Amino acid sequence: MGRQAATFVILAIYIIIMVGIGFYTSRRTKSTEDFMLGGRSVGSWLTAFSYGTTYFSAVVFIGYAGQFGWMYGVSATWVGIGNAIVGSLIPFFLIGRRSRLMSNHLGAKTMPEFFEHRFDSKALKTASAAIVFIFLIPYTASVYNGLSRLFGMVFDLGSNGYLIIIVAMAVLSAVYVTLGGYKATALNDFFQGIIMLIGIATVVVLTVKEKNGLSECIDALNAIKDDNGDTNTLGSLFGPDPVNLLGVVILTSLGTWGLPQMVQKFYAIKDEQAIRKGAAISTLFALVVAGGSYFMGGFVRLYCTAAPDGTGREVIERGSNGKLVYDKMVPALLDQAIPNILIGLIVVLVLSASLSTLSSLVLTSSSTLTNDLIKPRFKNFDDKKQMFTMRIFIAVFLIISVLIASHKNASISTLMSYSWGALSGAFLGPYLYGLFMKKASKAACWSSFITGVGISLTHMVLFSMNISAFDGLKTSVKDMGWKLNILSPINAGAFAMLLSIAIVPIVSSFTKAPDKKVVDDAFSSLAELKK
């Protein structure tokens, strides 16, 4: 059986299972709380896998692994380690326990609803709901972009192939989310997570084996020269550029603390025991999936080259701006390292990672828009009307995302950086301190919202204008030859997140805190933590 035929068979089986789970869970989805949070009774395994599969998608496996593997070599693996420790383990204990208790006590189904009840402000809910809907769209578009790159490697779909792929993925994700809501996504995430674990392990082993083992790969990476003819140290522990690598770790790890699609997983978890078990499972999952993806990406230069050099490596094209198309690097690696019979497994791996993320994004966006913007403005907006409206907005959200994704020139990492930078840059500080600090104020929340969104929008304008004076603006660090790329979308997003953490306690120190009765009521829910 040829590559395409085998892949079609595997895809058909996969799609049947996904849709079947949607129909199965639709019978158990009776209310908006079921649809949005699975009735707040989701166990440790489903929560951990749902968290991990929402976290990692084609953005990581195709976009980030290719770009940062090319730039930093095997030291890009630190990003995966950061994702496991800072992005998975810590938030389960730091944020997860308090989120479960306080959101349940306040009756909050979404992050904007949490802001409303915790800070006694309907305006905060409205503003944060709008931010969620707007800035989840570029992230969704980046997932489509990654999927299309891989499918383009396997199937010859002609000039319209890119659009066909993203439309098909939108329809598939819409079907099972619309049918079963959170329960469908959680069960599908568990099934998809198992595929991801098996697939990533297979890819890593075959990537290294194809180039004669790990030691040979490391030596080959260290032999590659930079543009000045100097050794690039791509096989070293911290790589050629540890400062900008740190920016990637911060953006992709700390960012989860303020992302609604991640935080709201804790609203649905069943109990304290499920949080403890979920933390361990989620961390292990992230080490394998994220660590494996970035480790694999560290070897893309052994399979790709920027210009013909007689090595037989695939030449990666440059875009209209003259820059390398990083999103084609991992597909090129897979094309050379993976046997035809296993390509179907890899396609389903990336499809699993991406659909699980897409389902969580569209559910978060549609539920936030319906619950926080539409429902308060209509009388007698019962459960039936809410679920119908959420399903309509799932379609609207996906259509807008497909339109953005159809613009091929937008790179995966850029789209994702703007999304995470704006969302977590706006919400991280207010949400974190809202769980821990009674004196956190509404004014501090507004300051963080404005700053996070403002930094991202300003950067988008400068970046889109392609001003040569700003392009690649760098600052020397510690006289060691390291350069900090100030206008990198990644570093801009990381800066917005760190600023959010700093700005909330500063502004709260000289502005009025919410009403004491409101705050005391919210924190009364945490009495269980003292037992």
How are beta strands 304-305 and 482-485 bridged, if at all? unpaired
Domain count for the chain, please give it.
Answer: 1
Residue showing tokens 């098909």: 168
Instruction: Give the H/E segment covering residue 305.
Output: strand 304-305
Quote the mean pLDDT of the chain.
80
Q: Which two tokens stand for residue 78?
A: 């630190």
| Residue 128 CB coordination number (10 Å) | 28
Is residue 33 scored above 80 in pLDDT? no
Q: What is the CATH number of the domain that holds 285?
A: 1.20.1730.10
Is the residue at 473 inside a domain? yes
Coil, strand or helix at 489:
helix
Is the residue at 427 inside a domain? yes
The pLDDT > 70 percentage for the chain reads 77
Alpha carbons 278 and 261: distance in angstroms, whole number: 17
Looking at residue 428, its pLDDT comes to 96
Looking at residue 176, its pLDDT comes to 60
Q: Which two tokens stand for residue 20?
A: 């079947």
Looking at residue 481, its pLDDT comes to 45
pLDDT tens, 61-95? 888 898 899 989 999 999 999 999 999 999 999 99
Domain that holds residue 308: 41-375+383-526
Q: Which two tokens stand for residue 388?
A: 């119908």
Q: Which two tokens stand for residue 447?
A: 């300051």
Looking at residue 480, its pLDDT comes to 43
* H runs (alpha helix) in 42-160: 44-55, 58, 65-72, 77-84, 90-91, 97-106, 111-119, 122-154
pTM reported for the whole predicted model: 0.83
Q: Which two tokens stand for residue 393?
A: 């907005």
Q: Which two tokens stand for residue 386?
A: 């809410």
Is residue 466 scored above 80 in pLDDT? no
* HSE-CB for 423 with a 13 A CA cutoff: 33
Q: What's the Rg (C-alpha) of the chain?
A: 22
Is the residue at 460 inside a domain? yes
Is the residue at 336 inside a domain? yes
Looking at residue 440, its pLDDT comes to 94
Is the residue at 9 inside a domain? no
What's the DSSP call for residue 378? Answer: S
Is the residue at 131 inside a domain? yes
Coil, strand or helix at 225:
strand
Alpha carbons 235 and 223: distance in angstroms, whole number: 9
Q: Which two tokens stand for residue 125?
A: 């809910």
8 Å CB contact between 455 and 492: yes
Is the residue at 10 inside a domain? no
Is the residue at 29 inside a domain? no
User: What are the C-alpha distances in Å from 155 to residues 195, 249, 339?
Assistant: 21, 34, 15
| Residue 416 CB coordination number (10 Å) | 29
8 Å CB contact between 354 and 57: yes
Is residue 386 scored above 80 in pLDDT? no
Is residue 411 scored above 80 in pLDDT? no
∠ at Cα 262 (124, 184), nearest 5°? 115
456 Cβ neighbours under 8 A, 6+ residues apart = 135, 418, 421, 422, 425, 492, 493, 496
Candidate from 44-48, 342-346, 398-402, 474-478 with smallest mean pLDDT = 474-478
8 Å CB contact between 420 and 139: yes
First CA to last CA distance, the chain: 61
Alpha carbons 429 and 284: distance in angstroms, whole number: 27
Best CA proximity match to 36, nearest among 370, 320, 307: 370
Best CA proximity match to 422, nearest among 170, 67, 130: 130
37 Cβ neighbours under 8 A, 6+ residues apart = 109, 182, 264, 267, 268
Instruction: Give the H/E segment covering residue 437.
Output: none
| Residue 460 CB coordination number (10 Å) | 18
pLDDT tens, 446-457? 999 999 999 988
The pLDDT > 90 percentage for the chain reads 28
